[in-house]
Amino acid sequence: MRTIHELTAAFAKGEASPVGVAEDYLARIGALDDRLGAYLTVTRDDALAAARAAEARYRAKAPLGPLDGAPVALKDVFCTRGVRTTCGSRILERYVPPYDATLVERLKAAGAVILGKTNMDEFAMGSSTEHSAFQLTRNPWDLARVPGGSSGGSAAAVAGGLAAGAFGTDTGGSVRQPAAFCGVVGLKPTYGRISRYGLVAFASSLDHVAPFALDITDTALLLAATAGHDPLDATSVDAPVPDYVAALASGVKGLRVGVPDEYFGAGLDPEIDRAVRAAIDVLRDLGAAIERVSLPTTEYGVATYYVVAPAEASSNLARYDGVKYGLRVPGGKDLIDMVSRTRAAGFGPEVKRRVMLGTYALSAGYYDAYYGQAQKVRTLVRRDFEKAFARVDVLAAPTTPSVAFKHGEKSDPLAMYMNDVYTIPASMTGLPAISVPCGFNGSGLPIGLQLIGRPLDEATLLRVAHAYEQATPWRQRRPELS
């Protein structure tokens, strides 16, 4: 498996061709994806057409995009003109958008070759990709285990060599957690750094567009190609986009790294504890100053998130009524009966559970007690981070409390929700955060180090992650799929 920057360098030197590489990836998808289940839709013809166009640019010495010829995949939650966008749900099984999401437009403008759309938990609600309406996705390191979720298809595609890079969404950890489970890099940028226009919404104040990659350099390339203000997205941040790749070489000497006490408590797998602490020691050896910090409201994060996110989901998913687009179940005696039949057949159990929770939290008499109170706690979580970042530049912690678990192992929703205990706080506050491979447990399963940064300071986050990556061997290990 070659990284995006290795591929584009080889294209420029004439050592490889975009068409040949695209064909290789498509062949690998055809050979392996029946077992891995990463893709819902493979866009073979479109991918080859984009690869031919990239190859022509290289041959003509024409201006090149930063991702020219690079094969990437998209979580099936981004609108793609002329290509179905299902969100992993029966209710959108036949939906074909008439336009591209801004993310898709920017990837095409950068020269990327889009291989297809990847599997996901339905409407991004899940932590294992077991809640897709269509298929299971398996972890390339152990096919009996989950790849994480909700962006599990994208993570598995990158880890398994079925894409050189990919995009997902991170609402409560849905890129960082699968990145940790699959042994790849997953970056959640600052809220609003990458446009959400054309992203099918789960929870609008929490959804982040986020890349997966094999290493930090590729992560910086993917972010640089897609970040920036978008007038079509009212939540898009109008701020300069730095040269993320140029910032990577700065190292960590002189930076202050905070280690939050609350992220190393009960429920953390001892092997993960040891691996993450060893990673922090590497940062110390590289010249960073390490100090303990406290984020006291961490313990309220999961409870707060599971009021706010379902409430926003309840509002966003109200549009799927069988009237305007998507599934319509016939036979209803009136409008209410038709809508009820459509949603009963079109939504899966986890989506129904969260919609009901959210509707309850927003209902008369309960709004102030639940949703209003949750938003106040969310503010307290943000203030905890502000206090910590007055003392340190970056926070270092585990990404997940456990390694990838087996399919069907966490049937209890509460046990599943606790997978995101360390990723939810950064999502609720909109802070940039990244998961970087930092070792393996005794069974050979990947472990992720999470780094959290100040708002819009992805450059420092990537700089620290790159220094750690270059000082350790973990990026060189890949799962063996034949």
Tokens read off for 214: 């094999």
Of the residues 17, 174, 236, 435, only one is catalytic, namely: 174
Residue 240 burial by Cβ neighbours in a 10 Å radius (0-12, 13-18, 19+)? exposed
Q: How many CB atoms lie within 10 A of CB 59?
A: 10
Q: Are the beta carbons of 48 and 22 closer than 8 angstroms?
A: yes
State the Cα–Cα distance between residues 296 and 35, nearest whole angstrom. Answer: 43
324: annotated active-site residue: no
Q: Is 75 a catalytic residue?
A: yes
Note whether 129 and 470 are within 8 A (CB): no
**Which among 17, 89, 128, 150 is annotated as catalytic?**
150
Rounded to whole angstroms, how far apart are CA atoms 307 and 378?
11
- Burial pattern 150-161, b for ≥16 Cβ within 10 A else e, equals bbbbbbbbbbbb
Look up 150 and say whether it is catalytic: yes
Tell me 200's DSSP state: P
Burial of residue 409 (CB within 10 Å: 0-12, 13-18, 19+) is middle
How many beta carbons lie within 10 A of that of residue 336, not counting itself? 9
Q: Which two tokens stand for residue 69?
A: 């010829």
C-alpha 209/C-alpha 102 separation (Å) is: 11
Which residue among 75, 117, 188, 410 is the active-site one? 75
**Neighbour tally for 404: CB within 10 Å:** 29
DSSP output for 99-134: S--HHHHHHHHTT-EEEEEE--SGGG--SSS---SS
Distance CA 145, CA 71 (A): 26
Please give the Cα distance from 221 to 219 (Å, whole number).
5
C-alpha span between 60 and 70 (Å, rounded): 18
Q: At what angle do helices 270-285 and 458-471 cross, to 10 degrees?
A: 100
**Residues with catalytic roles:** 75, 150, 174
